[in-house]
Structures are given as C-alpha cells and as structure tokens.
C-alpha cells in the first residue's frame, strides 16, 4: 500500500515495552537490572497491597507491575523509553489458558569465544541507544553479567546481554535512523538525572534528597579547595545535594546567605586555587552552647544533616562536640519554639566526617595532612633562593618556619635543602647544643662550604623547655663563629600559593571518601577522620586521632621527648636519623669498623629524573660518615667501559647536590649486556664491595642482567640494589619512583597555564600529551590534579566509541557553560596510549565534530615534565631510600662470594609499598611482577583511581540540576 506524500503516519512512536516475569524473584531482578542502566521507577502496582488502586492500563493477570522511564536529551518524545515490568505467576497463566514459552536463556558458551553464535539472531530483543558504551560494559562486568561485544570487545560498537527473564537487550551508539530530531549528544538510554548510573538516591526521613554540608575551618591550607570540590561533585554524583558553609563555624552560626547550595559548575577551576574559597574564620560564639544551638537551627532550616569539615584538631574537636550535643540541641529548639517537632523529626542524627587540613602535618593516625607538602614546597623554594645569596656572600641564614608543636616542616626542610642544623619541638638538642651546632658548622666551613643554613621551628625549645629563638641562634653564630648572619622569617608565605600535585590528589581522594563515609554512617558509628595510611585512604575514629595529637603536646610539656617522637609516625624518627647521619661529617661515634668499610659504586641508568642527585648525595654522605668510600660511575655503563669514568666522591663535591635537578654524574640508557665482560673487568679492577643503581626501568633491567651474570662473573657477587628514579613510575617493586612527583608538579603547572589560556579564549579544548612510556600513572594522577575532562592511558587504550562519547560530552559541557568563567577544558593523552589516535588526530577530530561551536589545540610539554629543581617529596624520599640502600649493603657485606651467589635477596629493588620501605629480590620481580613487553608492573595501585577522575570531571555525565 502506498501513502500519499501529504498523508501522515498513524503512529508517532513506541508507547512502551512490556516484559513479563514468571516469578517474583525474577520480577525484582529485572527491575533492578534496568534501574542499574539508568531507568527511573515512576509507578509501582501491587495487587496484594490494599492501598494500591488498579488503573485501566494494569493487566488483570498482573500480580505486580513496575513502570520504568528513561528520558532522552531530545525534545522528540519518541526517543523516550518506557518499560512495563509485569509479574504474572504460572497459576494465573494456566487459569487464562496461556501456555508460557520458556524464557530464552543466555548461551552457556563464553560470550566472545569463536564457537559462540551471534546473539543478534535471538528473538524478543530490545536495542537501546547510548553514548556510554564503555560505561555499560564496565557496569555489566562489575555485576558479572554475561555479555557479547560486536564486532569485538576492544572495538565494540554494540553490546548484547540478557535480562533476568531472558530478553535480549542490546546497546549501540547508533541512533534511530528515521528520527528527524537528533539528540544533541546521543544520550538515549539513560535519564539525564541518572547519567552516572547512580540510581539510588539517599534521602532523609522526609523523603527529600540527603543534603551534605561542607566547610573549612581553622588555618587555611593549600588543597582545601580541592577537598571542597571533591565533596560537592561526589555528593551530586551520589544523588545528594551539596551545601557550602562559608566562613567556617561563623557561617554555621549566622546562617542565611552564608549557607549556599552548590551546583556542579560552582566548583569548576577550584583545583588550581590556593587558600579556601569558601572562607574560614575564628568563631567564639560556636564555643558556647548558644552558638551551637544557632548552628543546629540553621542546619535544619536548610535540611542538612551531614557535615564534612576540613580543618585542624581544634576544628574537628568542636565538630564532634556538636554531634554529641545534637539530640539535646534539637529538644531545646523545640522547647523554645524556634522549631517544631515536625521540623526536627527527619534530622534526629547528625553525621560528622573530618578531613585534616593543616600545613604542620601534626595530626596523629595519618601519614600526611592536606596542605603539608604544599607548605614544604614554599619553604624549600625560599631556602633554595636564600641558598644562592648565602653562597655569594659566604653568609649564614637562620630560617624560621611554622610548627608550634610539630617539627615536621623544619625537619623535612632540613633534609630537602641540606641545612646544617635544625631545631624541632619534639627533639630538643642536648645540653650544650650551642657548641655542638658551632662544631658541625665549623667542620662544614673547614671542608670548603661557603654558606650556612639553620632551620628553626617556631615552637623549638631546649630540654628545659626554654624557647630557642631565631635571634638567639643568630647571636651564637655571630659571636662564636664570626659569621655574617641574617634571619628570615617566612611567616604566612608558607600557607600561600596553589596546592602541589600531592595535596590536590590527597584532598580529592579524601573528599570522595568523606562522602562515602557520610552515606555509610549510622547513629552508632563514631565520627570518622579520613586519613592516609600505607598509601591507602582509610577511616580512623576522629576523637582517638585528636587525643593522640594532643598527647604529643602533653609529652613535650612533661619533657617526655622520647614519648613525643614515638607518637609521631615511624618515618619521622627515621628521617631524623638519616638527616643527622648526612650532616655530621667525621663523627667517629658512627664509623664502621675498619675491616667492614666498603668501596661502593653509584651509577645512574635511564632518563634523568628529579631527585637522582639528592639520592646520590645522601648515599655518598652516609658512606663518608660511616667510613666507606663512595665512587661515581659517570655517564652510565658506556662511560665505564669506554672511558673508565670512575671518580671517588668527596663531601664538598656532593654537598650542594640536594637541590639540583638532572644528573650530575650523567646517565645513559645502555645496559651492561652490551659489554658485560668489560663491566666485570672494571668492577674487579676497583674491587667494588657494593653497587647502587639509580634510575628507571633500564636501571631495573640492568640489575636483572648483573644478577644473572653472577654465575659467570664473580665480580658481581656483591650486594646490589636498584633505587627507582623515573618520571614514569613504572618500576616493579615500588609504588613510587623518585622523580614522579617532580614530574607531576611540572605538569600541573603547565596544565594550569594552558587551562588559563583556554579559559581566556572561552571555548577551547587543549589536548595535552603526557610522558610516561607505557604506564598511564602520570596522565592519570595529573588528570586527577587538574580536573581533566578525559584521560587516555595505554592500559585502557583509545577506541572510536570512547572518542565519540568524549566529544559528545564536550558538546554538552560547552552548551551548559552559559558564559561562566574557567570554561577551558583539558584532555590528557599518554604518549603511548594509541598508535593510531595521536594527539594531533584527536584534536582534529574534536575540531571537526565541534562544528564551530568550540575549537581544539594540542599542547606537548615534552621534557619540561622532567622538571627543574626536584620537589621536596622527591628529595626527602631520595634521602630515606638512599640511606637504606647503603645499610642494605652493610648488612650483606660479610657474606662470602658463594653465599651471595646462592642468596637471590642480595640483588634487590628498594621500594615504597604502603608506608613501608621494602627490598624485593630482583629475581622475584622478574618472574612474577613484570610486564616486560609493556615495561611496567603487572599490577598498579593507581589503576582504581581512573573511575574517580571520570566521575569528578563529569566524563560519566553531569547529573541533572548540577
């Protein structure tokens, strides 16, 4: 039958799809299956429920019905989807004379095996359009639902699975070809409100969405804005409403405009901002019950029953008191008739979660606090600048840093900068310290050092609790040593500036965990503090951590300095020992016996990385303090075999290397296997007793070759260690490599500048190419730290579906900007993410698909990512690991040649796993933990962070109303 051109079709689209479940369990499983995909439950009918009214469109045979709805992005109603899930028992079917067909079962064969047939030939199917095929695949895999990819899993353009009642359900990015009005970005299968596949919406007792408040209190710390951003976006992603309480507890007490609902876009660009954009202030009113009463009233009026507070121990203590008084405060508000019983009924419990924002790193039970490493960065930058003028004039500088009860900043600054002496509250110097300090500085000067740096914590004391002031130290240096001495008090400069990469990462991950803690807490759960321990984000009882922290001050007050040091983390004492060992030359008390003194070779292998020189310096100085002889092999193994480039290191030669980037002794990627015989000959010539290899994957590879060569070359039967140093962080046996933090800081500085340019031009996307080899660590962590819209890594690869989804997300993101600031977008691509989809091609594809609505550019920082001056984190880690390496050689020195040959543990990679320093035999790593073809570990701790990057960037979809 033909239809006249002017005649309209009688049909305008599909009304709904009806699916029938034969059992109640399958009914509920099917409803759950589709709600997980983003469908929203709109109506429920239960024939057995007395209050449920049967409508005319409810089937007589249905015992239960649930209507599900998915709204498309298009205004064309035919693109919306409605499902009716029915439960009809077998008894009802037989009563109506209906013979039920067995639901089609998924094939028993593996979905993507060569033997499996094409599921698309099955009957009773639904095919849904989606812009999120990778997310659909991830969801199905997470629930262990068997699925089939067409044409293959890597290049999937269609995905098929079966719902619990046997219906074949397909997913494709291809829209209905006959739809006249195209959806803006192809979002058809999920409702706009549920694009993040978070269908569960936490609610209060009153049925409203749960509201989570976030505030910053106490002294500001870099990274607080990153924490607020993470809390706001994660709260929205979890279906909650986020509120910012401005000006700390003062905003809580005053309420009104100081309590503001936060939308998704409100926190755009906050990662690169210093201080706290929602403010902090001291509040005397909150210390009184009347102030807390006002705070409780303001929370209830705004519907908030959960608070995430970023501050120090005082701020967190006040929050826990507030929680403990909450029931009484509510009763008092009702008695005073400021609120009604109906108003307070949904808010009987107040959730409190603490994030520690403190530049002093003075909270017990956590390895690091938000802002501490950023503050250390400011201090080291200042001391590095002072270092130049001190050298020029042969002066002494006394630098005062913050730390009233905690000497972490002072100690780490001393380790990072190679300071001559440090003063800490927890470790006061012994009586007569003035003479000890002068003796050490005099020896340094006698050895040829032209500058002197002394670092004093503001809370520094002697063993009689008498303050050690910067002015007093200056007078000692002037009077006893006759040094031209200046004082520099850094003050609040230490709090300023943007957060470093580590603080952005830490604050983001802790903010995400804080939201999870809120949603999982019960009235019986103690208020948690979000901490980081052994490189894992953890929860600790808030008040236990506060009490331990306050115990440190009590120990100092009672002159129990050993107790104060024990209450600090284990690293603190170790760093102090390492610092003293590298700053006291010719100390006879720590010399090794003459017959146990060693000749130790140090070599750099691979590309340069920040911290290589700091590690070499620490190893050499520790050797000298123990009576060993350190030798540098210049320019790697080629330098050794071609030029006999072995030079003995002296104290003065390496003393200034702590702050230098690159490699002072030169580095080379070549392996010893290129001429193993000559390498062995030179080792035998110099009679080396130990070898320290500093470098990346090539250094690790070199160690494996030397270990294997022990059977043929006795010269290699010595203790040998590899200290990982590479920006790629791809060495097996460690979670952190020296130089990776320096790289991340250089990269986020670059990206911040690029993003500023993109914002100024309003509608621009930069595709930034990151180094990292076949490891996506740098790209992922940088993406987390700069808020990249998408991150492409070698582990995940790039396919056309992924690019299509991301370009669609870009279009929507720019469409929603509406003239706001900070509108620039970044995409980070690892250099080895794909051979086909290069940085230029991705930028060209974005430009082509933008249709003039926005533009794209490429940015390739290249070797800028290796950084200049090493970051403080890389410096302190370099010192700790280098000293441990020399100690490892000392422990194995007495073993005979045959014992070392038989002991695989004498060739090891030193690494940080969690908070522990471990030595892993290179033989074990080679066999079980190394992906040799990709030059990276088989498992990496950071892979799980990719989903957080996608969620907070909005790549998985920005929720409705955000």
Q: For residue 874, indicate whether it is catalytic.
A: no
Do 324 and 440 belong to one domain?
no
pLDDT at position 383: 94
Q: Is 748 found in the same domain as 637?
A: no
Please compute the mean of the pLDDT values over residues 288-301 and round it to a whole number.
94
Tell me: is residue 950 an annotated ligand-binding position: no
864 is in an annotated binding site: yes
pLDDT at 840 over 80: yes
Q: 315 a known binding residue?
A: yes
Exactly one of 220, 320, 360, 503 is catalytic; name it. Answer: 360
Tell me which residue range forms the domain holding 312: 211-368+500-542
**What is the radius of gyration, based on Cα positions, of the chain?**
32
Q: Check whether residue 146 and residue 258 sit in a common domain.
A: no
Q: Say what the pLDDT of residue 36 is.
A: 81
The reported pLDDT for the residue numbered 175 is 64
pLDDT of residue 96: 44
Q: Count the Cβ atoms, other than its own, within 10 Å of residue 488.
A: 17
DSSP secondary structure, 578-638, as one string: HHHHHH-TT-GGGPPPGGG--EEEEEEESS--TTHHHHHHHHHHHHHHHT-EEEEETTHHH
**864 in the same domain as 748:** yes
Same domain, 711 and 759: no
Same-domain pairing of 620 and 645: yes
Which of helix, strand or coil describes residue 677?
Answer: helix
- Give 90: exposed, middle or buried? Use CB within 10 Å, 0-12, 13-18, 19+: exposed
Contact at 8 Å (CB) between 268 and 277?
A: no
Q: Which CATH number do you get for residue 85?
A: 3.10.180.90
Residue 6 lies in a domain: no
817 and 687 in a single domain? The answer is no
Q: Tell me if 494 is assigned to a ligand binding site.
A: yes
- Asked whether residue 911 is marked as a ligand-binding residue, the answer is no
Please give the backbone phi and psi of residue 811, each rounded to the nearest 5 degrees, phi first: -60, -45
For residue range 65-90, what is the model confidence (pLDDT) as tens digits? 888 888 664 444 446 788 888 888 76
Selected residue with higher pLDDT from 191 and 36: 36
- Is the pLDDT assigned to residue 298 strictly greater than 50? yes
**CA separation for the pair 939, 913 (Å, rounded):** 13
pLDDT score recorded for residue 602:
98
Q: According to the annotation, is 348 in a ligand binding site?
A: no
pLDDT grade for 833, boundaries at 50, 70 and 90: very high
Residues 55 and 83 in one domain: yes
772 marked among binding-site residues: yes
Q: Give pLDDT tens digits for 863-893.
A: 999 988 999 999 999 999 999 999 999 999 9
Q: Is residue 696 domain-shared with residue 838, that is, in the same domain?
A: no
Angular region, 569: left φ>0, alpha ψ -120 to 50, beta rest: beta
- 178 in a structural domain: no
669 is in an annotated binding site: yes
395 among the known binding-site residues?
A: yes
Instruction: Check the annotation: does 358 bind a ligand.
Output: yes
> Residue 403, annotated ligand binder?
yes
503-507, 661-665, 730-734, 757-761: range with lowest mean pLDDT? 757-761
476 and 198 Cβ atoms separated by less than 8 Å: no
42-62 pLDDT, tens digit per residue, is: 778 887 765 556 665 567 778
274-278, 323-327, 379-383, 804-808 — which is least confidently predicted?
804-808
Query: What value does the mean pLDDT take over residues 192-202?
Result: 42
pLDDT digits (tens, 9 = 90+) for 621-662: 999 999 999 999 999 999 999 999 999 999 999 999 999 999
Mean pLDDT for all residues in the chain: 86
Tell whether 492 is in a known binding site.
yes
Does the annotation place 404 within a ligand binding site? yes
**Spatial distance between the Cα atoms of 686 and 422, rounded to a whole number of angstroms:** 38
Mean pLDDT, residues 405-432 taken together: 93
Higher-confidence position of 209 and 690: 690
Pick the more confident residue, 728 or 176: 728
Structure tokens belonging to residue 319: 């929050």
Count the alpha carbons within 13 Å of 798 in the hemisphere toward its beta carbon: 23
- Residue 97 maps to a domain: no
Classify residue 9: in a domain, yes or no.
no
Do 860 and 908 share a domain, yes or no?
no
Is the pTM higher than 0.85? The answer reads: no
Q: Is residue 558 part of a domain?
A: no
Evaluate whether residue 301 is within a structural domain. yes
pLDDT digits (tens, 9 = 90+) for 783-830: 999 999 999 999 999 999 899 889 988 888 777 765 554 557 899 999
Q: Is position 959 within any domain? A: no
Structurally, the chain folds into a number of domains equal to 5
Confidence band for 111, pLDDT divided at 50, 70 and 90: very low
User: Is residue 795 located within the same domain as residue 898?
Assistant: no
> Which CATH number does the domain housing residue 795 bear?
3.40.50.460
Look at residue 683 and tell me whether its pLDDT is greater than 70: yes
Do residues 812 and 888 share a domain? Answer: no
Which pLDDT score is estimated for 11?
58
Percent of the chain with pLDDT over 70: 87
34 domain-assigned: yes
Residue 721 predicted with pLDDT over 50: yes
Residue 574 scores a pLDDT above 70 = yes
Q: How do residues 207-250 score in pLDDT, each as one tens digit?
A: 568 999 999 999 999 999 999 999 999 999 999 999 999 999 99
CATH of the domain at 726: 3.40.50.450
| Residue 771 annotated in ligand binding | yes
Q: What is the pLDDT of residue 7?
A: 45
Q: Is-contact 827 843, C-beta < 8 A?
A: no
pLDDT reported for residue 828: 96
75 is in an annotated binding site: no
Res 373 pLDDT > 80: yes
DSSP 533-559: ETTEEEEEEHHHHHHHHHHHHHHHHTT
């Amino acid at each position: 039958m033909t239809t006249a051109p002017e005649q309209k079709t009688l049909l305008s689209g599909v009304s709904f799809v009806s699916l029938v479940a034969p059992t109640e369990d399958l009914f509920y499983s099917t409803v759950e299956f589709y709600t997980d995909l983003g469908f929203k439950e709109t109506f429920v009918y239960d024939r057995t429920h007395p209050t449920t009214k049967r409508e005319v469109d409810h089937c007589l045979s249905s015992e239960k019905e649930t209507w599900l709805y998915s709204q498309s992005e298009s205004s064309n109603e035919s693109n919306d989807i409605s499902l009716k899930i029915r439960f009809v028992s077998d008894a009802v079917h037989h009563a109506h004379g209906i013979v039920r067909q067995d639901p089609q079962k998924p094939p028993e064969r593996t979905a993507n095996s060569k033997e499996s047939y094409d599921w698309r030939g099955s009957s009773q199917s639904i095919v849904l359009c989606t812009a999120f095929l990778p997310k659909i695949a991830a969801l199905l895999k997470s629930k262990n639902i068997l699925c089939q990819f067409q044409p293959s899993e890597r290049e999937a353009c269609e995905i098929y699975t079966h719902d619990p009642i046997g219906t074949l359900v397909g997913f494709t990015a291809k829209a209905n070809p006959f739809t006249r009005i195209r959806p803006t970005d192809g979002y058809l299968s999920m409702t706009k409100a549920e694009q993040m596949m978070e269908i569960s919406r936490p609610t209060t007792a009153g049925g409203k969405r749960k509201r989570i408040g976030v505030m910053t209190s106490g002294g500001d710390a870099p990274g607080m804005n990153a924490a607020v951003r993470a809390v706001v976006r994660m709260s929205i992603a979890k279906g909650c409403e986020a509120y910012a309480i401005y000006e700390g507890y003062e905003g809580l007490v005053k309420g009104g405009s100081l309590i503001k609902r936060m939308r998704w876009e409100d926190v755009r660009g906050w990662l690169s901002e210093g201080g706290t954009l929602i403010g902090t202030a001291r509040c005397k009113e909150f210390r009184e019950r009347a102030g807390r009463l006002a705070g409780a009233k303001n929370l209830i009026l705004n519907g908030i029953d959960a608070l995430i507070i970023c501050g120090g121990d005082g701020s967190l203590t006040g929050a826990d008191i507030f929680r403990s008084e909450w029931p009484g405060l509510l009763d008092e508000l009702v008695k005073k008739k400021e609120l009604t019983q109906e108003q307070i009924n949904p808010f009987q419990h107040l959730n409190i979660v603490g994030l520690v924002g403190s530049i002093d790193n003075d909270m017990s039970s956590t390895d690091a606090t938000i802002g501490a490493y950023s503050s250390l960065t400011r201090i080291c930058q200042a001391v590095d600048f002072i270092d130049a003028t001190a050298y020029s004039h042969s002066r002494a500088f006394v630098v005062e840093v913050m730390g009233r009860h905690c000497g972490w900043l002072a100690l780490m600054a001393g380790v990072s900068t190679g300071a001559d002496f440090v003063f800490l509250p927890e470790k006061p110097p012994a009586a007569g310290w003035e003479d000890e300090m002068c003796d050490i500085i005099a020896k340094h000067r006698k050895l040829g050092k032209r500058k002197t740096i002394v670092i004093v914590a503001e809370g520094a004391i002697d063993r009689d609790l008498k303050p050690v002031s910067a002015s007093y130290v200056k007078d000692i240096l002037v009077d006893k040593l006759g040094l031209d001495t200046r004082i520099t008090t850094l003050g609040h400069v230490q709090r300023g500036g943007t957060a470093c990469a580590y603080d952005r990462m830490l604050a983001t991950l802790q903010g995400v965990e804080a939201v999870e803690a809120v949603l999982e807490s019960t009235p019986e759960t103690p208020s948690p503090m979000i901490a980081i321990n052994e490189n894992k984000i953890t929860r600790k009882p808030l008040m236990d951590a506060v009490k331990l922290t306050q115990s440190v001050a009590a120990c100092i007050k009672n002159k129990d300095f050993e107790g104060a040091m024990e209450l600090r983390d284990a690293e603190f004492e170790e760093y102090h020992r390492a610092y003293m060992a590298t700053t006291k030359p010719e100390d006879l008390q720590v010399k090794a016996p003459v017959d146990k003194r060693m000749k130790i070779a140090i070599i750099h292998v691979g590309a340069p990385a920040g911290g290589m020189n700091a590690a070499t310096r620490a190893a050499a100085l520790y050797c000298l303090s123990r009576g060993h002889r350190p030798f540098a092999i210049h320019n790697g193994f080629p330098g050794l075999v071609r030029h006999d480039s072995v030079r003995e290191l002296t104290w003065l030669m390496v003393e200034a290397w702590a702050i230098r980037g690159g490699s002072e002794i030169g580095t080379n990627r070549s392996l010893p296997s290129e001429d193993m015989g000559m390498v062995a000959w030179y080792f035998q010539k110099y009679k080396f007793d130990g070898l320290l290899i500093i470098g990346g994957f090539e250094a690790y590879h070199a160690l494996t070759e030397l270990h294997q060569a022990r059977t043929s070359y006795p010269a290699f039967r010595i203790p040998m260690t590899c200290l990982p140093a590479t920006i790629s962080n791809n060495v097996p046996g460690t979670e952190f490599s020296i130089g990776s933090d320096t790289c991340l800081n250089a990269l986020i500085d670059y990206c911040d500048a690029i993003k500023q340019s993109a914002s100024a031009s309003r509608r621009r996307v930069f595709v930034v190419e990151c180094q990292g080899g076949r490891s996506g660590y740098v790209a992922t962590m940088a993406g987390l730290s700069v808020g990249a819209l998408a991150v492409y890594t070698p582990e995940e690869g790039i396919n056309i579906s992924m690019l299509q989804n991301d370009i669609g997300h870009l279009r929507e993101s720019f469409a929603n900007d509406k003239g706001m600031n900070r509108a620039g977008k970044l995409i980070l691509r690892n250099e080895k993410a794909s051979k086909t989809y290069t940085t230029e091609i991705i930028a060209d594809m974005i430009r082509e698909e933008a249709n003039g609505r926005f533009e794209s550019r490429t940015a390739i920082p290249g070797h800028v990512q290796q950084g200049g001056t090493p970051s403080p984190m890389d410096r302190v880690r370099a010192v700790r690991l280098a000293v441990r390496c020399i100690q490892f050689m000392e422990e194995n020195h007495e073993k005979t040649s045959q014992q070392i040959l038989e002991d695989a543990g004498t060739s090891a990679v030193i690494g940080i796993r969690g908070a522990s320093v471990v030595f892993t035999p290179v033989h074990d790593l080679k066999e079980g933990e190394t992906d040799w073809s990709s030059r990276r570990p088989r498992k990496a701790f950071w892979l799980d962070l990719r989903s957080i990057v996608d969620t907070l960037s909005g790549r998985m979809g920005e929720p409705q109303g955000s």
